[in-house]
C-alpha cells in the first residue's frame, strides 16, 4: 500500500482557485498600499498605449498634411513626454510587482521551513532531500511570479486590449470589425496553447524535482562513487534523468515555436485586412492616412498582449499550482509532531518505558513490548547486535518518532504531554554520525542558543580536553567548519558534538555509540569527561565497546526488538547469555 506524503503528493485540478488566490494575497497583507499603487500604475501603462497612436494620427493628419510646423513641434514634444512617462510607469510597475512577489516569497518560505521543522522524522525518511529543497526553494519562488508576471500584468493586458478595441470602435467601427476578423481564431489558439503549455510545465516541474533529488543524493555520496569507480555508471544515470528533463522542456519549446508564428500570421492578416479595406476608404475620402497608421500601431499593441497573455496566464497557473502544493503541506498536520502543554518546572530525569511497541512501517515492529526504567542520576546502558533496536529507543525519548503502543514517561508524565522544545531542551544526544554545519566551531557548539556563552563553551571544552586542538585551528573557536565538518577528523567532530550536548546542561544525556569511531586517546578524553559530567544526570548509553559501560547501573541486552537480558555487568556475565558471548568475543579480539 502506497504511503501518503504531504511533500510529494498533492492533488491539483488545474482550475483557477480564487480561494487559494486569496491565501496567496494574504501574504502581502502588510503591503496592500504597494499592491494598489502597482495596480494604478498598470492602469496608467495600459492607458498610455491608447494615446501614443492617437498623437501620431494627429501628427500625420493635422500637422504634416496641413504643413503646421508649430503643431508638429507641440505634438512631438507631447509624444516624447508620453513615451518618457510610459517608461517611468513601466519601471515602477516592474519594481513594485517584483517587490510584492519577493515579499510573498519571504513570508511563505519562512512558513514552509518552520512547518517542515515540525515534521516527524518519518517524513524525512521517505522523502528525497532534493524534493524537500525543490518544495522549499523552487516552488516558493514560483509564487513570486503570481505578482511579478501574473495577475497584475494580466489585468493590465486585458485592460489594454479593451481600451484599444474601444478606441478603435469610437474612431471607425467598420474598419475595426474588419481588422478583428482573425480575433476569434487568436483566442482559440491562445486557449489551446495555454492548456498545452500548462501540462508541459507540470512535467518540467516534476523533472526538475527528480533532477534536484538525484544531484543532492549523488553529490553527497561522491566519495562512494569515486572509491568504487562508479563515475561512468552514475554519469549514464544522470544522462537519463537529464534526457527526461530535456524532453519535458522541448515540449514547451515546441508549443511556443508553433504559437508565436500563428500569432504573427493572424496579426499579418489583420493588418492586410486594414490596408485593403482602410486603403479603399482612404481613397474614397472616408478615412485618413493617419487613421490607417494609428490602426496599424493599435493592432500591434492589441496582438502583443494576446501573444503574452497566454504565457502570463500559465505563469499565474503554475504559481497557483505551486501554491496549492505548498498550502496542502502547510495545512496538513497529520505528520507534524503534536505539541504538549508542559513547558515549565524542574525536570529530574526519571525515564520509563511501559510496554512500548514501535514500527517505522505498519505492523513491521522494530520494538516489541519494551519495559525499562532509569532513575534520576543513574546510568542505563543498552547493547546488542546491529538492528536489535538500540538506536530506535533513544529516538523515541525525544520524540523524533512517536510510538504506536505503550507509554514513554519522563518524571511520570507522558513525553507527548511536554512541549517539544522543552522536552528536547532537557534531553541531549551525542550521535555516532556527527553532523556539523558550515559555520564556526562556537556556533556549532551553541547552535545559536543565547543562554550558552563563549565562556561556558571554553569551560566545557577544557573539561572534555578539546580546548587545545580548537585553539590550534586558524581562528580558534571562530574557525569556519566546512560542510558536514569535512575539514576535521572523526575524533575532533565527535569531541565537538560531545561539547555541544554538555553545554546544553541537559537532565538526560544520551550517547549513541559516541566513542565507537574515535581513537583510543580521544576515547579516553571522552570517558574522563563523561564520568565527570554524568554525576547527578540521567544517562543512557548505547555502546559496542562493552569496556565503556561496565560501571553502568543497569545494562539491557537487546535482541530482535526485545529485551533479552537485564542487570549489572557482573550479573550479566553470571547469566552466561548473549552479553557474556559479546564480552568474550570482544575480549578475545583485544587479546589477539
Using pLDDT thresholds of 50, 70 and 90, give the confidence band for residue 258: confident
Least confident of 106-110, 329-333, 378-382: 329-333
Lowest mean pLDDT among 9-23, 253-267, 276-290, 466-480: 9-23
Give the number of other Cβ atoms within 10 Å of residue 224's Cβ: 11
Cell of 440: 564556526
Sort 352 into a burial class: Cβ within 10 Å, 0-12 / 13-18 / 19+. middle
In this prediction, residue 523 carries a pLDDT of 67
The secondary structure of residue 342, as a DSSP letter, is B
In a domain, 253, yes or no: yes
Q: Of 416, 153, 525, 451, nearest to 309 (Cα)?
A: 153
392 with 363, same domain? yes
DSSP state letter for 29: G
* pLDDT of residue 529 exceeding 60: yes
Range name among 71-80, 293-302, 331-340, 456-465 with the lowest pLDDT average: 331-340
Q: Who's near 201: CB < 8 A, 6+ residues apart? A: 252, 314, 317, 318
Residue 458 vs residue 22, higher pLDDT: 458
User: What does the pLDDT look like over 556-582, one tens digit per residue?
Assistant: 998 888 999 899 988 888 888 888 888
Tell me: do 44 and 129 sit in the same domain.
yes
Q: Which of 440, 443, 371 is nearest to 403 (CA)?
A: 371
pLDDT digits (tens, 9 = 90+) for 437-488: 888 899 888 888 888 889 999 988 888 788 888 899 898 999 988 776 777 8
Q: Domain residues for 177? A: 18-331
Does the residue 7 lie in any domain? no
Question: For residue 355, what pLDDT is reported?
Answer: 93
- Per-residue pLDDT reduced to its tens digit, 183-225: 888 778 877 877 777 777 777 777 877 887 788 777 777 777 7
Residue 12, pLDDT > 70, answer: no
pLDDT of 287 > 50? The answer is yes
Q: Please say which residue of 301, 331, 361 terminates a domain.
A: 331
CB 527 within 8 A of CB 519: no
Q: Which region among 78-87, 258-267, 309-318 has the lowest average model confidence (pLDDT)?
A: 309-318
Supply the pTM of this predicted model.
0.67
Give me the chain's average pLDDT, please: 81
Q: Let me know whether 319 and 457 are in one domain.
A: no
**Helix, strand, or coil (residue 316):** helix
Q: At what angle do helices 183-220 and 289-331 cross, to 10 degrees?
A: 40
Judge if 128 and 159 occupy the same domain: yes
Higher pLDDT, 191 or 2: 191
Q: Report d(CA 456, CA 445) in Å as an integer.
A: 10
Task: Tell me if 536 is assigned to some domain.
Answer: yes
Q: Are residues 371 and 324 in the same domain?
A: no
**How wide is the angle at C-alpha 53 spanned by C-alphas 47 and 58, nearest 5°?**
120
Helix or strand (DSSP H, E) at 500? helix 490-503
47: in domain:
yes
Looking at the chain, the whole-number percentage of residues with pLDDT higher than 90 is 6
**pLDDT higher than threshold 90 for residue 130:** no
d(CA 440, CA 38): 43
Say if residue 319 is in the same domain as residue 356: no
> Residue 13 domain-assigned?
no
| Residue at 385 is within a domain | yes
**CATH, residue 169:** 1.20.1560.10
* Surface-to-core class of residue 42, CB atoms within 10 Å of its CB (0-12 exposed, 13-18 middle, 19+ buried): buried
Q: Are residues 325 and 370 in the same domain?
A: no
| Confidence grade of residue 408 (pLDDT, cut at 50, 70, 90) | very high
Provide the domain count of the chain: 2
Contact 394, 429 (CB under 8 A): yes
Pairing of β 538-542 and β 554-559: unpaired
Q: Are residues 268 and 383 in the same domain?
A: no
231 shares its domain with 145: yes
In a shared domain, residues 359 and 490: yes
**Confidence label for 35 from pLDDT (cuts 50, 70 and 90):** confident
Sheet holding 562-567, edge to edge: 427-430, 508-512, 538-542, 379-384, 554-559, 562-567
Q: What is the pLDDT of residues 530-563, one digit of tens each?
A: 676 677 789 898 877 787 788 888 999 988 889 9
Quick check: is 50 in a domain?
A: yes
Winning range, highest mean pLDDT, from 114-118, 330-334, 453-457: 453-457
CB within 8 Å of 549: residues ≥ 6 apart = 379, 381, 383, 541, 543, 555, 569
Residue bearing cell 510607469: 89
The reported pLDDT for the residue numbered 374 is: 92
Q: Are residues 391 and 263 in the same domain?
A: no
Q: Are residues 222 and 286 in the same domain?
A: yes
pLDDT attached to residue 592? 44
**Would 59 be classed as within a structural domain?**
yes
Q: Residue 436 is part of a domain; what is its CATH number?
A: 3.40.50.300
Question: Which pLDDT score is estimated for 407?
Answer: 93
77-80 long-range contacts, CB within 8 A, separation 24+:
79/52, 79/55
Residue 1: band (very low, low, confident or very high) from pLDDT cuts 50, 70, 90: very low
Amino acid 514: pLDDT: 61
Amino acid at each position: 500500500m502506497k504511503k501518503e506524503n504531504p511533500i510529494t503528493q498533492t492533488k491539483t485540478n488545474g482550475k483557477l482557485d480564487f480561494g487559494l488566490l486569496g491565501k496567496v494575497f494574504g501574504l502581502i497583507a502588510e503591503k496592500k498600499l504597494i499592491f494598489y499603487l502597482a495596480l494604478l500604475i498598470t492602469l496608467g501603462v495600459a492607458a498610455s498605449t491608447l494615446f501614443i497612436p492617437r498623437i501620431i494620427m494627429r501628427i500625420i493628419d493635422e500637422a504634416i498634411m496641413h504643413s503646421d510646423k508649430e503643431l508638429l513641434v507641440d505634438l512631438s514634444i507631447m509624444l516624447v513626454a508620453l513615451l518618457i512617462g510610459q517608461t517611468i510607469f513601466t519601471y515602477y510597475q516592474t519594481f513594485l510587482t517584483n517587490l510584492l512577489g519577493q515579499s510573498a516569497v519571504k513570508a511563505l518560505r519562512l512558513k514552509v521551513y518552520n512547518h517542515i521543522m515540525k515534521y516527524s522524522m518519518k517524513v524525512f525518511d521517505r522523502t528525497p532531500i532534493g524534493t524537500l529543497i525543490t518544495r522549499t526553494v523552487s516552488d516558493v519562488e514560483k509564487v513570486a511570479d503570481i505578482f511579478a508576471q501574473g495577475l497584475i500584468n494580466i489585468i493590465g493586458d486585458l485592460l489594454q486590449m479593451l481600451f484599444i478595441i474601444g478606441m478603435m470602435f469610437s474612431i471607425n467601427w467598420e474598419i475595426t470589425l474588419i481588422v478583428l476578423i482573425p480575433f476569434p481564431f487568436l483566442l482559440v489558439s491562445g486557449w489551446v496553447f495555454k492548456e498545452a503549455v500548462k501540462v508541459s510545465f507540470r512535467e518540467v516541474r516534476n523533472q526538475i524535482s527528480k533532477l534536484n533529488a538525484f544531484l543532492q543524493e549523488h553529490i553527497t555520496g561522491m566519495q562512494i562513487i569515486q572509491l568504487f569507480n562508479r563515475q561512468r555508471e552514475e554519469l549514464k544515470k544522470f544522462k537519463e534523468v537529464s534526457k527526461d528533463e530535456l524532453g519535458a522542456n522541448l515540449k514547451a519549446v515546441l508549443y511556443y515555436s508553433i504559437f508565436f508564428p500563428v500569432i504573427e500570421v493572424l496579426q499579418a492578416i489583420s493588418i492586410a485586412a486594414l490596408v485593403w479595406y482602410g486603403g479603399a476608404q482612404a481613397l474614397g475620402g472616408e478615412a485618413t492616412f493617419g487613421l490607417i497608421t494609428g490602426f496599424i500601431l493599435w493592432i500591434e499593441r492589441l496582438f502583443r498582449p494576446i501573444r503574452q497573455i497566454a504565457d502570463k496566464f500559465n505563469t499565474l497557473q503554475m504559481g497557483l499550482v505551486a501554491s496549492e502544493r505548498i498550502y496542502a503541506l502547510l495545512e496538513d498536520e497529520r505528520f507534524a509532531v503534536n505539541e504538549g502543554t508542559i513547558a515549565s518546572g524542574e525536570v529530574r530525569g526519571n525515564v520509563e518505558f511501559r510496554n512500548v511497541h514501535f514500527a517505522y512501517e505498519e505492523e513491521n515492529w522494530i520494538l516489541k513490548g519494551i519495559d525499562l526504567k532509569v532513575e534520576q542520576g543513574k546510568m542505563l546502558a543498552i547493547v546488542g547486535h546491529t538492528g536489535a533496536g538500540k538506536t530506535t529507543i533513544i529516538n523515541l525519548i525525544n520524540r523524533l518518532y512517536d510510538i504506536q503502543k505503550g507509554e514513554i514517561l519522563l518524571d511520570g508524565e507522558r513525553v507527548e504531554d511536554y512541549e517539544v522544545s522543552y522536552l528536547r531542551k532537557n534531553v541531549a544526544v551525542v550521535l555516532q554520525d556527527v553532523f556539523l554545519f558550515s559555520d564556526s566551531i562556537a556556533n556549532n557548539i551553541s547552535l545559536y542558543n543565547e543562554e550558552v556563552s563563549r565562556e561556558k563553551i571554553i569551560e566545557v571544552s577544557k573539561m572534555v580536553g578539546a580546548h587545545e586542538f580548537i585553539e590550534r585551528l586558524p581562528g580558534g573557536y571562530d574557525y569556519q567548519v566546512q560542510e558536514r565538518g569535512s575539514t576535521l577528523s572523526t575524533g575532533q567532530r565527535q569531541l565537538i558534538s560531545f561539547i555541544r550536548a554538555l553545554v546544553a546542561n541537559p537532565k538526560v544525556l544520551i550517547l549513541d555509540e559516541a566513542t565507537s569511531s574515535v581513537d583510543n586517546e580521544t576515547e579516553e578524553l571522552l570517558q574522563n569527561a563523561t564520568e565527570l559530567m554524568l554525576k547527578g544526570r540521567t544517562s543512557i548509553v548505547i555502546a559496542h565497546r562493552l569496556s565503556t559501560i561496565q560501571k553502568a547501573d543497569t545494562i539491557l541486552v537487546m535482541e530482535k526488538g526485545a529485551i533479552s537480558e537485564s542487570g549489572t555487568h557482573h550479573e550479566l556475565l553470571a547469566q552466561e547469555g548473549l552479553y557474556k558471548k559479546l564480552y568474550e568475543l570482544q575480549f578475545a579480539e583485544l587479546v589477539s
